[in-house]
């Protein structure tokens, strides 16, 4: 039994079968990659996991509980954090404030009316946020206007914001898309470090094979909305079906 | 039955005005993606085009008629409009009488011009700004436009009658076999409705059957793709803005005899037109027309005494109530595409 | 001090000093001098400054922090006014119960409207609030006449019960509003040489309440709640994927700002006990939007500045007529003088709204941060030119 169990999920958009009988099991504390050519349904699948889309049929269970029909914020409160393809951060806020918000959300839940105490007096939250920024090597940037940072830094901050909540499952949607090689390598290092240091399950959608083979312990190949094969990275590399459907294009 | 027909007819003229304004609003929104709070002001300026033309036509010179005296015994001063002096009293009087319909021709170039200036001078710079900024700047523009009109024309409504031949009413009920006097309908309202139908038909035909219209419709569906095809969409959008302004202006010109134009009539209509656009679906042209007539007729029904005695005050709020219900249950409106302006 | 950091405390002290010394500051010119027309230290005008200040501070909590643009906030102000006048009619002429009721009623009304309107965002939210406000306005004019007295507006009469007070005073007139016996209209006039300063009880009550309202707004801005509201404006997607439910946050902000509007309405009625539907019209909602944007949305001091700015110039500009203009330009040759007067005339007197509209457009186009941003730009240019000069300007403190 994995921490995330996707069973017989189907999703149609009009005449297009975006997902057809997807079954997926992500083992706790592993790193599981989902790869596939463009239009294979990777993003649709991800959106079904976080409550943005509701599948037509099938079930998605996280730690024994169904996530279907729940709002994104409820699913996050269950312990699933998501990193977006384009970094989604609070651009108008400072880096430190960006980091404090998920910690507040973790401590106080989806809504709490704490309108009179001064934010600066929330010592434990500020300390945690500063600590997190330290571990990301971003402490010197904590008063930066976050929208003005480089894309790599934004990505770093976003991952940090997700980790600050100590999620049990971290979903990454093409975390290195559009990044320069150096930034990509930094992000890989960061993710490796996270994997080593924490008890965390990571599910990653990625195009870049370099990223996938550096991180993943298991890989699911998705083609035309259906899982083609699931195996370890070594076996995937040599799998004829995969070569034909996917790697063949790039090899 | 006759009461129902009467209410439908009564709703049609207001509905026509809503439909025309909403059509322009949604055209601007659909093509340019701009929320134009100054659109009501364009309607108002249209109405003042009618006022202006009738003022120009009645410009007079004074002559002293020695043969007659006023009540103080002084020689009587007689005012003669220039047009009567130039074209003779017959034709001149006719021109003055038909000032409002003539103002249609007068207003089209003016409105298109105003539309061009607005788009090139102001709106253009707001395509990339948030919708809130667009609302705010056009709201400011609406204030400026109405204050300018107020400065030149004063704060009081200016009666601008329809031509004499069209001022009466006719017994519509008799045509349908009802009792005489059951369904009395003023000629001008019928004219307004027919006029609105023609303008709406013309806009649709223009969008449907011309290359220009095709490009604009494509632009409404997907702006970037059309841009990539190398078609100068921006220039066409400017023209579209001019057309939308002209439609609003025409609606105003013809509305002048129904309600004497005043400087804040645009604001009053703007709120309702926005409601109409939202009910019809942001960016949907047929939706705007449908919702305009629908809400006009609905409002007219709600103001029937029979209905008001059951739900007091319903006539005042019906349109807003419908809009709120539609927005909450069907955010894209009656005929809107999914996802327009939703987050 | 007071749970604020040093900068905010300084700001609060400056605002307090400005409001409490307003009778002096706003009357800098001797009463019989030619410049006396620029004086603004009259009780009713000063009351309007602070009351609209409260209204704008409240509006800014919603618009400045969350970015939700409401075009219906005047409805809450109107509801507050009606509630207060009813309290004067039924209970007593003491302003405290009236103000409390107006805040509560406006809050409940805002809860209802906000709950429905916040199901949509962006322009749809604006139109929903607009629709609700117009609905309230139309109803106040028509069927709700028993409560609102329709077009005439709700006024006090000699027949009102006033169970804790008197229906009529000993000399047979309507009693005046008071705070435990201190009359709101009471004014002490201080004459110092050619100057005269007026100290009005009503103004000081409003001013103190505004300071409290301002202090509360500072606390909200600096609280985690305020940070969440800014987060909504900044990135709603990240908000929900961070496990936060944006809607109750936005609703809370909506209700708080509705209560501020109700407070302003209640104070308005306390200064002059009547209430009319025109206070609820959407153009009145537009006015508070203008104030907030003009001053600087999302900043602490901006809305207060904007409200003061608009109300001051509304009053001053409206008073200038062509005679005044002629006297200004009288140093010029005759022809030029007339031309100048003709040029300026459309923008003054009754043309004040034209000036306001133009000003507002200019601000939205060139200075989205309002007067506060303008002040900051000037400060920065000033500092750059004289880098070694330390300036302690704090009135232009941004939200973050």
CA distance B19 to B297: 12
C224 touches chain A (CB under 8 A): yes
C228 interfacial to chain A (CB closer than 8 Å): yes
Distance CA C256, CA C250 (A): 10
Is the CB of B141 inside 8 Å of chain C's CB atoms?
yes
Q: Check CB contact under 8 Å for C223 and A76.
A: no
Chain A residues within an 8 Å CB radius of C242: 73, 76, 81, 101-102, 105, 161, 165
CB-side neighbour CA atoms (13 Å) of C385: 6
Secondary structure E strands in chain B: 60-69, 75-81, 169-171, 184-186
Q: What is the pLDDT of residue B251?
A: 92
Question: Exposed, middle or buried: residue C215 (CB in 10 Å: 0-12, 13-18, 19+)?
Answer: middle
Q: What distance in Å separates residue B119's CA from the closest CA in chain C? A: 14
Check residue C1 and give its pLDDT. 64
Cα–Cα distance for residue pair C348/C317, rounded to 1 Å: 5
* Lowest mean pLDDT across A147-161, A175-189, C227-241, C293-307: A175-189
The residues near A107 (Cβ < 8 Å, ≥ 6 apart) are A125
Taking alpha carbons only, the member of B287, B324, B205 closest to residue B30 is B287
Which H or E element spans position A59? Answer: strand A57-62
Q: Which CATH architecture has domain A4-79+167-250?
A: 3-Layer(aba) Sandwich (3.40)
Say if strands A4-13 and A57-62 run parallel, antiparallel, or are unpaired: antiparallel
pLDDT tens, residue by residue, B265-319: 888 788 888 888 888 888 788 899 999 999 999 988 888 877 878 877 788 788 8
Q: Please compute, for residue B185, the number of CA atoms within 13 A of its CA located in the half-sphere on the CB side.
A: 24
Question: Which residue on chain B is closest to C283 by alpha carbon?
Answer: B267
C383 touches chain A (CB under 8 A): no
**Which chain B residue has its CA at the smallest distance from C129's CA?**
B324
Size of interface B-C (CB pairs under 8 A): 111
* Alpha-carbon gap, residue B142 to C353, rounded angstroms: 11
Rounded to whole angstroms, the Cα distance separating B174 from B178 reads 5
Domains of chain C are 6-281 (1.10.3470)
- The residue ranges of every structural domain in chain A are 4-79+167-250
- For chains C and B, tell me whether 3 or more CB atom pairs sit within 8 A of each other: yes
Question: In the structure encoding, which two tokens stand for residue A33, read together?
Answer: 């990659």
Q: What is the pLDDT of residues C31-48, one digit of tens each?
A: 777 777 788 888 889 999
Cα C393 from chain centre? 24
Mutation pick from B271, B311, B326 vs chain C, by most beta carbons of C within 10 Å, is: B271
What are the tens digits of pLDDT across the range C81-102? 999 999 999 998 899 999 999 9
Question: What pLDDT, on the 0 to 100 scale, is given for residue C37?
Answer: 78
C259 touches chain A (CB under 8 A): no
From the CB of residue A189, how many other CB atoms can be counted at a distance below 10 Å?
11
DSSP A29-45: T-EEEEE-STTSSHHHH
3-state secondary structure of B113: helix
User: Cα(C352)–Cα(C314) distance, rounded to whole angstroms?
Assistant: 6
Quick one: which of C336, C395, C362 has its CA closest to C10?
C395
Distances (CA, A) of B198 to B40, B193, B257: 21, 9, 19
* Residue B64, beta-bridge partner list: B77
Interval C173-202: pLDDT, tens: 888 888 888 888 888 888 888 888 889 999
Query: Domains of chain B, with CATH numbers?
Result: 2-59+107-329 (1.10.3470)
Q: Nearest CA of chain A to the CA of C58: how many Å?
A: 14
| Residue B289 CB burial class (10 angstroms; 0-12, 13-18, ≥19) | buried
Query: Chain B closest CA to C131's CA: distance in Å?
Result: 5
Sequence-ordered alpha helix ranges (H) in chain B = 2-32, 39-57, 82-97, 99-121, 131-153, 172-175, 187-209, 211-221, 223-228, 233-255, 265-280, 285-302, 305-310, 314-329
Among candidates C222, C231, C242 on the partner chain, residue whose Cβ is nearest the Cβ of A118 = C222
Q: DSSP code of B337? A: P
Pairwise CB contact (< 8 Å): B139 & C286: yes
Closest CA to A146 of C301, C265, C231: C231
Cβ <8 Å between C236 and B343: yes
Q: Per mean pLDDT, which of A206-210, B90-94, B218-222, C361-365 is the most reliable?
A: C361-365
Spell out the alpha helix ranges (H) of chain A.
Answer: 42-49, 72-78, 95-108, 123-135, 151-163, 181-197, 209-215, 233-238, 240-242, 248-250
Our answer on whether B and A touch (3+ beta-carbon pairs < 8 Å) is: no
DSSP state of A120: G
Give residues with Cβ within 8 angstroms of A189, minimum separation 6. none
> Which residues of chain C does A99 touch, with a Cβ-Cβ cutoff of 8 Å?
none
- Whether residue A44 contacts residue A11, with contact meaning beta carbons closer than 8 Å, is answered with yes
Rg for chain C, CA atoms, rounded: 22
Give the Cα separation of B74 and B70 in Å (integer).
Answer: 6
What is the chain C residue with the closest CA to B147? C354
Minimal C-alpha gap between C62 and chain A (Å): 14
Chain C residue nearest residue A143, CA to CA: C400
Non-local (6+) Cβ contacts of B211 within 8 A are none
Is B267 an 8 Å CB contact of chain C?
A: yes
Nearest residue, CB atoms, C5 vs list A109, A120, A165 = A120
Is A113 within 8 Å of chain C by CB?
Answer: yes
Our CA-based measurement puts residue C64 at a distance from the nearest CA of chain A, in whole angstroms, of 12
Q: Which helix (H) or strand (E) holds C192?
A: strand C187-192
**ipTM attached to this prediction:** 0.89
What pLDDT is stored for residue C340 in this prediction?
81
Determine the length of chain C.
Answer: 400
Is C225's pLDDT higher than 50? Answer: yes
Average pLDDT value for residue range A52-76: 90
**Residues lower than pLDDT 50 in chain B:** 339, 341-343
Provide the pLDDT confidence category of residue A178 given band limits of 50, 70 and 90: confident
Query: What's CA A207's distance to the chain center, in Å?
Result: 14
Chain C nearest CA to B29, separation (Å): 12
Q: Would you say B114 and C328 are in contact if contact means Cβ atoms under 8 Å apart?
A: no
**Measured between alpha carbons, how far is B179 from A209 in angstroms, rounded to an integer?**
84
The two structure tokens encoding residue B211: 């290359």
Chain-chain contact of C3 with A118 (C-beta, under 8 angstroms): yes
C241, C252, C400 member nearest A72 (Cβ) = C241
Residues of C near B (Cβ–Cβ under 8 Å) read 67, 69, 116, 119-124, 126-128, 130-132, 134-135, 138-139, 141-144, 236, 282-283, 286, 289, 293, 346, 350-351, 353-354, 356-358, 360-361, 364-365, 368
Predicted pLDDT of residue B231: 67
Selected for mutation to probe chain B from C141, C143, C150, C238 (highest B CB count within 10 Å) is: C143
* Nearest chain C alpha carbon to B272: C131
* Of residues C249, C258, C256, the one with CA closest to residue C73: C258
End-to-end CA distance of chain C: 19
Per-residue three-class SS string for C144-176 = CHHHHCCCCCEECCCCCCCCCCCCCCCCCCCCC
Q: What does the pLDDT read at residue A157? A: 93
> For position B168, what pLDDT does the model report?
78
The model's pTM is: 0.89
For residue A73, which of C246, B185, B286 has the smallest C-alpha distance? Answer: C246
Chain B neighbours, 3+ Cβ pairs < 8 A:
C
Q: Would you give the DSSP letter of residue A244?
A: I
Q: What pLDDT shows up at residue B228?
A: 66
Give the chain B residue nearest C236 (alpha carbons): B343
Check residue C327 and give its pLDDT: 78
Backbone angles phi, psi at A111, to 5 degrees: -150, 130
pLDDT at A209: 83
Q: Is B181 left (phi over 0), alpha (psi -120 to 50) or beta?
A: left
Query: Which residue from B135, B143, B151 is facing C356, i.e. has the nearest CB?
Result: B143
Task: List chain C residues with CB under 8 Å of A76.
Answer: 240-243
Residues of C in contact with B137 (CB under 8 A): 361, 364-365
Cα-based angle B87, B92, B98 (whole degrees, multiple of 5): 140
Q: CA A121, CA C115: separation in Å to the nearest integer?
A: 31
User: Residue A90 and residue C230: Cβ atoms within 8 Å?
Assistant: yes
Secondary structure letter of residue B155 according to DSSP = S
Strand pairing of A31-35 and A218-223? parallel
Of the pLDDT bands very low, low, confident and very high (cuts 50, 70, 90), residue C398 is very low
Nearest residue, CB atoms, A114 vs list C4, C224, C241:
C224
Q: Is B212 on the interface with C (CB under 8 A)?
A: no
Name, in order, each residue with C-beta under 8 angstroms of C146's C-beta and a sequence gap of 6 or more: none
Query: Cα(B249)–Cα(B112) distance, rounded to whole angstroms?
Result: 9
Residue of C nearest to B322 (CA): C131
pLDDT at C387 (0 to 100): 53
At C238 the three-state DSSP class reads helix
Q: Would you call C122 and B343 a contact, using CB atoms and an 8 Å cutoff?
A: yes
Structure confidence at residue A4 (pLDDT):
92
Distance, in angstroms, between B231 CA and closest chain C CA? 29
Select from A108, A11, A18, A91 the least CA-distant residue to A59: A11
Question: What CA–CA distance (Å, rounded) separates B304 from A157?
Answer: 62
Residue C399 pLDDT class (50, 70, 90 cuts): very low
Asked whether residue C396 carries a pLDDT value surpassing 70, the answer given is no
Whether pLDDT at A225 is above 70? yes
Interface test with B, best of C285, C357, C363, C366 (most B CBs within 10 A): C357
Contact criterion met (CB < 8 Å) for A117 and C224: yes
- Check residues A114 and A126 and name the one with the higher pLDDT: A126
Contact A50, A167 (CB under 8 A): no
Per-residue confidence (pLDDT) for residue C328, from 0 to 100: 77
pLDDT of residue C400: 42
Q: Do B137 and C361 make contact, defined as CB atoms within 8 angstroms? A: yes
């Amino acid at each position: 039994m994995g921490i995330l169990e996707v069973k017989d999920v189907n999703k149609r958009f009009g005449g297009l079968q975006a997902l057809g009988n997807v079954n997926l099991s992500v083992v706790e504390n592993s790193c599981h990659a989902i790869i596939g050519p463009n239009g294979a349904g990777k993003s649709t699948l991800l959106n079904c996991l976080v409550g943005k889309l509701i599948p037509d049929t099938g079930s998605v269970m996280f730690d024994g509980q169904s996530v279907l029909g729940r709002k994104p914020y409820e699913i996050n409160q269950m312990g699933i954090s998501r990193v977006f393809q384009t970094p989604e951060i609070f651009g108008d806020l400072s880096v430190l404030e960006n980091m404090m918000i998920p910690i507040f959300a973790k401590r106080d839940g989806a809504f709490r009316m704490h309108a009179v105490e001064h934010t600066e007096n929330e010592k434990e939250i500020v300390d945690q946020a500063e600590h997190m920024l330290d571990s990301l090597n971003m402490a010197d940037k904590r008063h930066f206007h976050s929208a003005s940072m480089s894309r790599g830094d934004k990505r770093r901050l976003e991952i940090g914001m997700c980790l600050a909540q100590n999620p049990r499952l971290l979903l990454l949607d093409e975390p290195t898309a559009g990044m320069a090689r150096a930034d990509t390598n930094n992000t890989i290092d960061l993710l490796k470090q996270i994997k080593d240091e924490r008890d965390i399950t990571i599910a990653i959608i990625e195009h870049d094979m370099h990223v996938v083979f550096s991180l993943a312990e298991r890989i699911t190949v998705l083609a035309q909305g259906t899982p083609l094969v699931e195996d370890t990275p070594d076996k995937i590399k040599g799998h004829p079906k995969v070569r034909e459907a996917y790697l063949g294009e790039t090899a | 039955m006759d009461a129902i027909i009467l209410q439908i007819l009564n709703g049609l003229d207001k509905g026509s005005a809503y439909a025309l304004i909403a059509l322009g609003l949604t055209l601007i929104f659909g093509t340019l993606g701009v929320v134009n709070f100054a659109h009501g002001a364009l309607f108002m300026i249209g109405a003042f085009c009618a006022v202006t033309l009738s003022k120009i036509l009645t410009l007079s010179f004074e002559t002293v008629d020695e043969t007659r005296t006023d009540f103080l015994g002084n020689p009587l001063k007689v005012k003669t409009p220039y047009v009567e002096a130039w074209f003779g009293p017959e034709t001149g009087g006719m021109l003055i009488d038909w000032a409002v319909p003539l103002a249609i021709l007068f207003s089209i170039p003016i409105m298109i011009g105003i539309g061009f200036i607005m788009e090139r001078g102001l709106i253009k710079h707001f395509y990339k700004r948030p919708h809130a900024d667009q609302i705010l700047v056009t709201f400011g523009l609406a204030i400026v436009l109405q204050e300018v009109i107020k400065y030149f024309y004063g704060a009081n409504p200016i009666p601008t009658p329809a031509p004499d031949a069209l001022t009466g009413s006719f017994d519509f009920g008799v045509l349908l076999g009802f009792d005489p006097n059951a369904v009395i309908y003023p000629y001008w309202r019928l004219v307004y409705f027919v006029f609105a139908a023609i303008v709406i038909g013309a806009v649709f035909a223009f969008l449907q059957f011309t290359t220009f219209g095709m490009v604009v419709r494509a632009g409404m569906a997907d702006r970037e793709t059309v841009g990539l095809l190398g078609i100068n969409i921006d220039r066409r959008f400017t023209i579209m803005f001019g057309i939308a302004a002209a439609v609003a202006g025409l609606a105003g010109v013809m509305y002048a005899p129904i309600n004497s134009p005043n400087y804040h009539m645009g604001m009053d209509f703007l709120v309702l037109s926005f409601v109409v656009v939202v009910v019809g679906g942001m960016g949907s042209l047929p939706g705007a027309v449908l919702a305009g007539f629908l809400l006009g007729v609905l409002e007219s029904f709600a103001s029937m005494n029979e209905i008001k005695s059951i739900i007091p005050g319903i006539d005042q709020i019906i349109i807003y109530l419908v809009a709120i219900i539609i927005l909450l249950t069907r955010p894209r409106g009656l005929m809107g595409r999914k996802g327009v302006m939703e987050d | 001090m007071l749970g604020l950091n040093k900068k905010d405390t300084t700001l609060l002290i400056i605002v307090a000093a400005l409001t409490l010394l307003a009778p002096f500051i706003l009357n800098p010119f001797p009463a019989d001098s030619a410049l006396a027309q620029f004086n603004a230290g009259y009780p009713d005008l000063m009351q309007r400054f602070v009351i609209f200040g409260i209204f704008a501070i409240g509006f800014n909590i919603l618009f400045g922090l969350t970015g939700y643009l409401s075009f219906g906030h005047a409805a809450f102000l109107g509801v507050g006014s009606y509630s207060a006048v009813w309290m004067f009619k039924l209970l007593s002429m003491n302003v405290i119960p009236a103000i409390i009721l107006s805040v509560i009623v406006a809050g409940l009304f805002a809860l209802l409207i906000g709950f429905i309107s916040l199901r949509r965002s962006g322009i749809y939210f604006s139109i929903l609030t607009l629709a609700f406000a117009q609905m309230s306005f139309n109803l106040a004019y028509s069927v709700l006449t028993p409560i609102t007295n329709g077009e005439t507006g709700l006024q006090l009469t000699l027949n009102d019960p006033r169970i804790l007070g008197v229906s009529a005073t000993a000399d047979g007139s309507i009693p005046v509003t008071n705070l435990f016996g201190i009359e709101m209209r009471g004014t002490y006039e201080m004459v110092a040489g050619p100057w005269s300063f007026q100290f009005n009880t009503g103004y000081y009550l409003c001013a103190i309440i505004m300071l409290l309202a301002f202090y509360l707004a500072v606390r909200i801005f600096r609280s985690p709640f305020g940070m969440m509201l800014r987060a909504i404006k900044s990135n709603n997607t990240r908000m929900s994927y961070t496990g936060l439910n944006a809607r109750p946050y936005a609703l809370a902000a909506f209700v708080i700002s509705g209560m501020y509007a109700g407070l302003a309405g209640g104070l308005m009625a306390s200064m002059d006990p009547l209430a009319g539907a025109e206070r609820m019209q959407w153009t009145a909602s537009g006015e508070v939007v203008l104030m907030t944007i003009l001053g600087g949305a999302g900043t602490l001091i901006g809305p207060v500045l904007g409200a003061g700015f608009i109300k001051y110039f509304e009053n001053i500009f409206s008073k200038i007529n062509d005679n005044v203009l002629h006297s200004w330009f009288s140093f010029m040759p005759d022809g030029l003088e007339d031309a100048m007067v003709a040029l300026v005339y459309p923008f003054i007197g009754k043309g004040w709204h034209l000036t306001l509209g133009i000003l507002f457009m200019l601000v939205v186009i060139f200075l989205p941060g309002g007067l506060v941003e303008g002040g900051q730009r000037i400060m920065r240019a000033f500092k750059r030119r004289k880098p070694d000069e330390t300036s302690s300007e704090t009135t232009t403190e941004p939200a973050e």
